Structure 1
Amino acid sequence: MNGASGSTPVGVVLAVDPDRFTEVVTGLRQAGLTVTSEQPVLGTLSGTVPEDRIGALAAVEGVNSVDRERTTRLPRPDSPIQ
């Protein structure tokens, strides 16, 4: 892992080749990903990575996509928008 990065960690969700899941996850960890959740049958996982390392994740062989996690906030139940 690259512990020298001063970039802020961001959450990411990745889709990878499910037939090579273990191998790809190992490469992602070496590229700086801290894995928080794995779904090997689906070929997806999530984790955190310094923002400046997102490109390194995408470059790992077997990675199909890298997306930043998004937070959606709903209005309060008593909000006039409801």
Structure 2
Amino acid sequence: MSLRDKIDEAAGKAKESVGKATEDDRMTREGKADQAEAKVRGLAHDAVEGAKEGFDDVKQTLGGLVDKAKDAMDRKK
């Protein structure tokens, strides 16, 4: 979760709290919605970062296998 997502989640929580304190149902719902949006955005961000790391791992592994195959072919020459 990025810093922006954490800030937006905290702002949503504050908005929800103010809504509850003032008995403003609309503000309470908006605060909850803001929190949910920030959480979803954070999860999407984390998923993208995880996919990038996984892709980098695969790329590194395949690169190592290609290097080993090239070395084996060079030794056979």
TM-score of the aligned structures, taking structure 2 as reference length? 0.24
Larger fraction in helix: 2
Larger fraction in strand: 1
- Bigger relative contact order, structure 1 or 2 (CA pairs below 8 A, ≥6 apart): 1
TM-score of the aligned structures, taking structure 1 as reference length? 0.23
